[in-house]
Amino acid sequence: MKILTNKQKQTILDSIRDIPDFPKPGIVFKDITTLLNDKEAFKLLMDHLEARYKDMDLEYIAGIDSRGFIFGAPLADRLGIGFVPIRKKGKLPSATICEKYELEYGFDEVEIHLDAFHEKKDTKVLIIDDLIATGGTAAAACKLVKDTKADLVEICFLMNLKFLEGDKKLEEIASVYSVLDI
């Protein structure tokens, strides 16, 4: 199931709840908790991701804090490879490298352990997260993976908010795949 049918995509989309005006007025939040507790939709998604990535010889999946952990860790387990968290600054206990990125009002930072990929060059890595909006966090995560000398194979998202065009920004860095374009 490397390619989802429109019906399968709709099953996954229907399992995601919209929360209007969260976290602030005018925002429609895509709540994945309803996907996670829908065993058929979640299995469909994970089966699809496993089929897509099983032949890519990946060595690690790097999940972006925090919803990227939800999809990245089980996918890494299914593929028999390692999982690496990309966390918000100050959350990792060992030596890290950080990357700053711009928010609507200010800046934030993400970090990764220096030895996340065991300091091997050209380690094949997939970055995963739940949603791409403007692409700032994902671009910072990509820079971190590349700074470790790993080979960033692709950036994967459950949902792509196409109207914000974050995917265009990221396609300049690496291949981008989204399960659902919204």
104 catalytic? Reply is yes
Ranges of the chain whose pLDDT falls below 50: none
180 and 158 Cβ atoms separated by less than 8 Å: yes
Give the pLDDT of residue 118.
87
Which of 52, 59, 67, 99 is catalytic? The answer is 67
Q: Under CATH, to which class is 57-181 assigned?
A: alpha beta
Concatenated DSSP letters of 94-127: S-EEEEEEEETTEEEEEEEETTTTTT-TT-EEEE
Comparing C-alpha atoms, which of 101, 88, 93 is closest to residue 166? 101
Which of 52, 59, 102, 104 is catalytic? The answer is 104
Give the pLDDT of residue 84.
98
pLDDT in tens, 9-53: 999 999 999 999 998 899 899 999 999 999 999 999 999 999 999
Which H or E run includes 33?
Answer: helix 33-36
59 catalytic? Reply is no
Neighbours of 82 (CB within 10 A): 17
Q: Which pTM was predicted?
A: 0.96
CA-based max dimension of the chain: 46
